[in-house]
Amino acid sequence: MKCPYCNEDIKRAKFCPECGKELDTGLSEEQKRYLAKKNKAHKVGAVAGSVVGGAGIGLGAIGVTGGVILLILGILLSLTGIGAILGIPMIIIGIIALTAGGTAATAGAMAARVATRSAKKSEEIEDQLHGIKK
């Protein structure tokens, strides 16, 4: 973008670094308010999505790890005669934990992806508010 006053090249600024004049975004006040409201919603969405995504991925990893451990222990216990009483329920719980862990990790990854998109959209809105064209 070029400063309309002194024709200096500007990367990301609200004011021209050469002449110090404020750059006009070409937006009306109503458009600026609307974009500011959208930007706030995207920022909240990005933060909330990243928290949910991180928790989902973390819990998913714990569930998968616990499920694998329960499966292995359940199989080993089932190989002993009397251990089958404990081993079979452990295998079933291990399978449930694996499934739940995989689902939580997938949902967490999806939430993180949405958060990333929301953060990118927020950055685009911020650039638009400050008159930066990409």
**Residue 102: what pLDDT?**
93
The pLDDT confidence band at residue 8, using thresholds 50, 70 and 90, is: low
More reliable by pLDDT, 10 or 70: 70
**Secondary structure of the chain as H, E, C letters:** CECCCCCCECCCCCECCCCCCECCCCCCHHHHHHHHHHHHHHHHHHHHHHHHHHHHHHHHHHHHHHHHHHHHHHHHHHHCCCCHHHHHHHHHHHHHHHHHHHHHHHHHHHHHHHHHHHHHHHHHHHHHHCCCCC
pLDDT one-digit tens code per residue, 72-126: 999 999 998 888 889 999 999 999 999 999 999 999 999 998 888 888 888 887 7
Question: For residue 52, is pLDDT > 70?
Answer: yes
Reading the block at residue 131, the tokens are 């008159």
Question: For residue 11, is pLDDT > 70?
Answer: no
pLDDT one-digit tens code per residue, 17-46: 666 666 555 666 777 788 888 888 888 888
How many other C-beta atoms can be found within 10 angstroms of the C-beta atom of residue 117?
Answer: 14
**Residue 56: what pLDDT?**
92
**Residue 13: what pLDDT?**
56
Q: Which residues make Cβ contacts (< 8 Å) with residue 29, sequence separation at least 6?
A: none
pTM, two decimals, is 0.63
Domain ranges in the chain? Answer: 29-129
